[in-house]
């Protein structure tokens, strides 16, 4: 867990400088990209998970993370690497001293950040993060001969509806594809959701409602046609069942 050190007034030389007056005494690298007083720049938040009392004057390196969802100056490489390693577009730079890290942050600020007009020079940097909300898309049409037919009547409860029983269905293979329906019918979701059946008979392969499955089953029995049915809980399960049935025929 990283500790975020906010900027606060302090009398210790080892603490992070927090006010414009204390920052003016820090040396910067030669020939900065922009004069520091011409354009307001932000101050990086400092993160350290190694010690509870960090010092910007110790011998550890400084890792400025300039992009991503948590920008700032990290004192521990493990913390910084977790935000830049294998993360496309995130980048960092290491510095030997706090003064170099602070100057590098300011130059990056001048080059990439667009602070508002009322931004106070050398105040704490707060990154703006946006949440990517996925947009709804229309699925491409299926390449399989499987369609969902509209139900002819509202679904009745499972005790009163006429279900085609699996033991009366005929299979084209000893390894009956209808056994795949046991997983879906045993779940609580299938007992409360609208139930569908995959039906395969002469010249007809489709996914239908329970009432339509009963009608098709009765018609096939009356006409002495071979019919295979399987209760399914998803479109993928129906496709898998039809594929197995096709291979078995």
Tens digit of each residue's pLDDT (9 = 90 or more) over 72-124: 888 888 888 878 777 666 778 899 999 999 999 988 888 877 777 777 877 87
- Is 133 within the bounds of a domain? no
Q: What is the pLDDT of residue 38?
A: 65
Average pLDDT over residues 145-171: 46
- Is 16 within the bounds of a domain? yes
- Is 157 within the bounds of a domain? no
- Is 207 within the bounds of a domain? yes
Token readout for 149 is 């037919």
Q: What is the pLDDT of residue 32?
A: 43
Per-residue pLDDT of 5-54, as tens digits, reads 433 333 333 433 333 333 333 333 334 444 445 678 888 888 887 776 66
Q: Which of 66, 88, 112 is the last residue of a domain?
A: 112
Any idea what DSSP says for residue 174?
Answer: S
Q: What is the pLDDT of residue 85?
A: 75
Burial (CB count within 10 angstroms: exposed 0-12, middle 13-18, buried 19+), residue 94:
middle
Q: What is the pLDDT of residue 33?
A: 43
Token readout for 158 is 């499972």
Compare 114 and 135 and report the one with higher pLDDT: 114
* Host domain of residue 29: 3-112
- Is 90 within the bounds of a domain? yes
State the pLDDT confidence band at 147, using cuts at 50, 70 and 90: low
Q: What is the pLDDT of residue 132?
A: 47
Tally: H helices and E strands in the chain: 7, 8
Token readout for 147 is 């369609």
Compare 149 and 94 and report the one with higher pLDDT: 94
Q: Which of 70, 89, 112 is the last residue of a domain?
A: 112
Burial (CB count within 10 angstroms: exposed 0-12, middle 13-18, buried 19+), residue 185:
middle
Give me the number of domains the chain comprises: 2
Pairing of strands 46-48, 72-74: parallel
Q: What count of other Cβ atoms lies within 10 Å of the Cβ of residue 69?
A: 11
Share of the chain above pLDDT 70, in %: 53
Most confident of 134-138, 168-172, 196-200: 196-200
- Is 134 within the bounds of a domain? no
Q: CB neighbours of 94 closer than 8 A, spacing ≥ 6?
A: 61, 62, 63, 64
Same domain flag for 190 and 97: no
- Is 156 within the bounds of a domain? no
Compare 197 and 57 and report the one with higher pLDDT: 197
Q: Would you say the pTM of this structure is higher than 0.75? A: no
Q: What is the pLDDT of residue 95?
A: 93
Q: Which of 68, 97, 112 is the last residue of a domain?
A: 112
């Amino acid at each position: 867990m990283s500790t975020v050190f906010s900027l606060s007034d302090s009398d210790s030389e080892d603490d992070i400088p927090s006010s414009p007056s204390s920052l003016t005494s820090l040396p910067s690298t030669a020939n900065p990209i922009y004069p520091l007083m011409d354009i307001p720049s932000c101050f990086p938040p400092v993160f350290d998970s190694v010690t509870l009392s960090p010092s910007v004057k110790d011998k550890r390196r400084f890792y400025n993370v300039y992009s991503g969802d948590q920008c700032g100056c990290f004192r521990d490489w493990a913390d910084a690497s977790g935000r830049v390693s294998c993360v496309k577009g995130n980048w960092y730079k290491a510095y030997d001293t706090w003064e170099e890290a602070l100057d590098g942050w300011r130059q990056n600020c001048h080059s990439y950040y667009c602070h508002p007009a009322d931004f106070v020079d050398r105040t704490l940097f707060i990154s703006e993060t946006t949440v990517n909300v996925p947009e709804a898309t229309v699925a491409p049409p299926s390449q399989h001969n499987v369609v969902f037919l509209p139900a002819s009547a509202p679904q009745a409860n499972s005790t009163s509806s006429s279900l085609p029983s699996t033991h009366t269905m005929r299979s084209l293979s000893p390894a009956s594809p209808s056994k795949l329906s046991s997983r879906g019918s045993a779940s609580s979701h299938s007992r409360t959701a609208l139930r569908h059946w995959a039906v395969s008979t002469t010249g007809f392969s489709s996914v239908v409602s329970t009432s339509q499955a009963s009608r098709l089953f009765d018609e096939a029995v009356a006409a002495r046609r071979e019919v295979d049915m399987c209760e399914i809980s998803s479109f993928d399960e129906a496709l898998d069942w039809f594929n197995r049935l096709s291979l078995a025929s």
